[in-house]
Amino acid sequence: IIVIPLYPQFSSSTVSSVWDSVSRHLQTMKSRYTPSINFINDYADHPTYIEALRASVQASFEANGIPDALLVSYHGIPVRFAKEGDQYQERCKLTTKLLIEAINMPSLKIVMTFQSRFGREPWLTPYTDETIKNLPNEGIKSLHVISPGFASDCLETLEELDEQNREIFMHAGGTSFTYIPALNDKPIHIEMLRQLVNVNRFQA
């Protein structure tokens, strides 16, 4: 069995929960045979994944013009998780670093942030909403936003990023806000998943 959690960057709060679910299911099996399992922790630095992100950014620039800045936003986690050894923040940084290299536009301002915090304890910073609110004061009037941590669009990307944060940015003095959709069912995204399976199919 090859298990691919559709969370590009590993976090114990997401990927590990998938592992727990798989493990619970295996415990209910009545067969005396236990299948071998290849569990793919993440694909934060997979070349085809990075290329798919780059192509999405490039397509957005071609359709909507090159913005003053590109904001790369990931779902946040409590700081406590990172201090306890969760690798999520570093995996997000790696994806962003590789995406910046792939875009290869040194003059373009690229900002990495974390969204969707809740509760009273501190979460990873900088926060997406607070960053977006301050960008117009820094001369950033046109903004493109991408969220590489989501394999497909959902309420968090469509409502929080594309609606709520658009309103924040425009109200703060921005003039143009473009949300770059998740990879969803793009052929290059499906090809990347196929590559993950083919590489791992004989390693289980």
The DSSP H or E segment spanning 23 is helix 15-27
pLDDT by residue (tens digit) across 74-114? 999 999 999 999 999 999 999 999 999 999 999 999 999 99
Q: Please tell me the predicted confidence (pLDDT) of residue 118.
A: 84
- 47-180 CATH fold: Rossmann fold (3.40.50)
Please list, in sequence order, all residues whose beta carbon lies within 8 angstroms of the beta carbon of residue 139, skipping any fewer than 6 positions away: 68
* 203 three-class SS: coil
Q: Where are the domains of the chain?
A: 2-43, 47-180
Report the mean per-residue pLDDT for the chain.
Answer: 94
For 33, other C-beta atoms within 10 Å of its C-beta total 5
Q: Please tell me the predicted confidence (pLDDT) of residue 117.
A: 87
User: Mean per-residue pLDDT for 146-165?
Assistant: 97
- Entry pTM: 0.94
What pLDDT band is residue 204 in, cutting at 50, 70 and 90?
very low
Q: DSSP string of 150-186?
A: -SS--HIIIIIIIIIIHHHHHHTT-SEEEEEPP-TT-
Q: Please tell me the predicted confidence (pLDDT) of residue 203.
A: 57
What pLDDT band is residue 119 in, cutting at 50, 70 and 90?
confident
Who wins on pLDDT, 15 or 200? 15
Of the candidate ranges 31-35, 130-134, 183-187, 195-199, the one whose mean pLDDT is the lowest: 31-35
Is the pLDDT score of 12 beyond 80? yes
Is the pLDDT score of 122 beyond 60? yes
Q: Please tell me the predicted confidence (pLDDT) of residue 29.
A: 82
